[in-house]
């Protein structure tokens, strides 16, 4: 394709520079986590090829050392190619081959550009962009979920569980359809939130399991042409040891690199985790609304002034930040679904780089916002007296009188309570319900657990 001018201090070569010129799209290079995983794949490949007798020991060691520098981030500036590039990610795989080959050549005492270590014949030995790139994507996502997202979710789960215990004595008005319902403990609400995050942790772990069945070894179209029959198994074992995760060769290479089904499924789990966080954050924001004209059942930590014009105003900004991050995750989910659907053509998906960037961004956003939500919001939440005050005035307490005066009469009391502002207890007493009966059926604690002595069902 002719000569190509490459910066004198670059480790990459003509193919990388040509890609830089071909894709001046966003100025956003591939994510650091992906480049790190790509370095891990190249290191494992070199070590495996040495073990199989396909690479001389000295050359393999130099390639592994250069690949380790990629893993460590020492060569990040040598990966300038835009996310919006070759759909298979071939440009970035070639970029890695060139960088590692030139750095390995230097390690061996050779001159950069001399191809003492060849980018294709040596660094890319037994590989293709078509199996290396999806392997690096899956590896990067699995590590990110394991190292970033799960710890953040586990911290949030613990924080919510502690608040559930702390808030257990607080009995407040339950709400369905945004209308008053029967009483509930504030701690029970937080127990529900804890359960959502517990399920989010489970979904994160299940996503890791899917990601760890990697397509490395399928080379161009899944057949494994130009690779040793034992290469994939041995390289996966090395990746497992390096990551301390159960990396395994995909049982079906044709499926593994012809589709992005794994990423679509994994991002579906990320979307669900985001939806759980949205629910928890939104409820806390609503319960903290006010402090006078809103619900005011929770006191949200004051993190910064809320207005440039209204003195003393404090807003639930930590929740707002998290909800915006989740909105971005929803957008990324659409990107991944479209990439999986529209990019999978015959033996290869050709929308891998953008799916990788979207997935890794979603993991980072969910991890950071969940951690921040725990630290700057949930752990500092306080219950106010507002919830217990409102529950005593709630007309829905009439539900507890169903077994005593019947549904129709209880409904009349509820409507009268809403019209007059008098409590259910006062109105029932005036209707002749004895104090003993009132104390029995309007025992708020009993109304927050199963039992036949209390109210009937409702919705």
Q: What residues are annotated to the active site?
A: 177, 307
CA gap 271, 255 in Å, rounded: 24
Q: Positive or negative CA dihedral for 358, 363, 366, 368?
A: negative
Q: Is-contact 213 256, C-beta < 8 A?
A: yes
CA gap 41, 228 in Å, rounded: 16
CA distances in angstroms from 268 to 273, 335, 351, 373, listed in the order given:
9, 12, 17, 22
Q: Which long-range contacts (CB under 8 A, 24 or more apart) does 6-12 make?
A: 10/78, 11/75, 11/78, 11/98, 11/99, 11/102, 11/103, 11/112, 12/78, 12/79, 12/80, 12/95, 12/98, 12/99, 12/102
């Amino acid at each position: 394709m002719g000569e190509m001018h490459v910066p004198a201090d670059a480790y990459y070569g003509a193919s990388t520079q040509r890609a830089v010129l071909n894709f001046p799209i966003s100025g956003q290079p591939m994510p650091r986590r992906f480049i790190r995983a790509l370095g891990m794949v190249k290191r494992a490949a070199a070590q495996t090829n040495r073990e199989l007798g396909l690479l001389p020991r000295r050359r393999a060691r130099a390639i592994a050392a250069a690949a380790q520098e990629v893993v460590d981030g020492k060569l990040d500036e040598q990966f300038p190619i835009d996310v919006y590039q070759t759909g298979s990610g071939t440009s970035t795989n070639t970029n890695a081959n060139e960088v590692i080959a030139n750095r390995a050549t230097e390690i061996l005492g050779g001159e950069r550009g001399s191809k003492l270590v060849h980018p294709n014949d040596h660094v890319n030995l037994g590989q293709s962009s078509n199996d290396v790139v999806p392997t690096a994507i899956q590896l990067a996502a699995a590590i990110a979920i394991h190292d970033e997202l799960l710890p953040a979710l586990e911290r949030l789960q613990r924080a919510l569980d502690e608040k559930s215990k702390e808030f257990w004595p607080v009995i407040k008005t339950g709400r369905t359809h945004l209308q008053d319902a029967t009483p509930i403990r504030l701690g029970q609400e937080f127990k529900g939130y804890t359960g959502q995050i517990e399920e989010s942790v489970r979904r994160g772990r299940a996503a890791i399991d899917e990601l760890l069945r990697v397509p490395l070894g399928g080379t161009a179209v899944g057949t494994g042409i130009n690779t040793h029959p034992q290469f994939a198994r041995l390289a996966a074992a090395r990746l497992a040891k390096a990551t301390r995760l159960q990396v395994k060769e995909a049982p079906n290479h044709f499926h593994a690199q012809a589709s992005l089904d794994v990423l679509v499924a994994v991002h579906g789990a990320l979307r669900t985790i985001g939806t759980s966080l949205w629910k928890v954050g939104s409820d806390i924001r609503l319960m903290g609304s006010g402090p006078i004209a809103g619900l005011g059942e929770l006191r949200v930590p004051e993190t910064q002034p809320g207005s440039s014009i209204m003195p003393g105003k404090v807003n639930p900004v930590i929740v707002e930040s998290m909800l915006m991050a989740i909105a971005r995750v929803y957008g990324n989910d659409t990107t991944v679904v479209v990439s999986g659907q529209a990019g999978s053509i015959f033996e290869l998906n050709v929308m891998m780089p953008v799916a990788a960037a979207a997935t890794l961004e979603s993991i980072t956003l969910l991890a950071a916002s969940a951690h921040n939500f725990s630290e700057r919001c949930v752990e500092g939440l306080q219950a106010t007296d507002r919830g217990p005050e409102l529950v005593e005035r709630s007309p829905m307490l009439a539900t507890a009188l169903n077994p005593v005066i019947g549904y129709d009469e209880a409904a009349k009391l509820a409507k009268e309570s809403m019209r007059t502002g008098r409590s259910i207890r006062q109105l029932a007493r005036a209707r002749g319900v004895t104090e003993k009966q009132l104390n029995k059926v309007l025992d708020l604690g009993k109304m927050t657990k199963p039992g036949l002595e209390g109210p009937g069902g409702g919705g």
